[in-house]
Chains A and B, each alone.
Chain A
């Protein structure tokens, strides 16, 4: 597991209370803890941990663990 993956999984586990085995398939559309308020908390935490800043449209687009992970892996700002 990469460092990015490990950090992201910890955020999901702590903020959304997702079981580790379900994190990979976790999405805003089918996780009852992942509402719009928690989405903003999630974004703020990811921005803090990875020292990045998302645009409004990116915040709207990132509605699953996989989407966020892909974005972070492709971001040149994250080492």
Chain B
């Protein structure tokens, strides 16, 4: 909700530790108004934005994005901005909720996600949830002076239904 766009949310996007692998620069979001603009661009058709709440606190966000209904494919994005919740499984919950929404509510077929090679935590989490690595895009993103690879990880709706979903309690 728009009311969840706060100075705290803005501070997350200006924290280099939080945004290191997000493709967001601190200069991208300098004011609350810029976050409102981002929020207004969410069309709830090809891109959906959700908040991650733990202990009744807004601690991060996730998106289901790049939705291609014709081919039934999508990507997701997530970040936990409140660093006191890193290691709390908030990220895992965000990803699994994004998958559930995309596969079950939108009826999509397969996720193609990209994770930067140095983002060890996200790659491990993807492996744990059950994504498989299907490819590597070489030198995809510039990080400082280096070009880094993007690992393409996927999961289809059959694996979600038969293997992954049952590991989680959605009550």
Q: How far is the CB of B68 from chain A (nearest CB, A)?
A: 28
* Chain A interface helix/strand/loop/mixed: helix
Chain B residues bordering chain A, tally (CB within 8 A): 14
Pair A28/B124 contact, Cβ less than 8 Å: yes
Contacts of A38 in B (CB 8 A): 87
For residue B118, CB closer than 8 A to chain A, the reply is: yes
**Interface on B for A, CB 8 Å cutoff?**
86-87, 89, 91, 117-118, 120-125, 127-128
**Interface on A for B, CB 8 Å cutoff?**
28-29, 35-40, 56, 59-60, 63
Besides A36-B87, A56-B120, A63-B127, 14 other A-B contacts (C-beta < 8 A): A29-B128, A35-B87, A36-B120, A36-B121, A36-B124, A37-B86, A37-B121, A38-B87, A39-B120, A40-B121, A56-B123, A59-B120, A60-B123, A60-B124
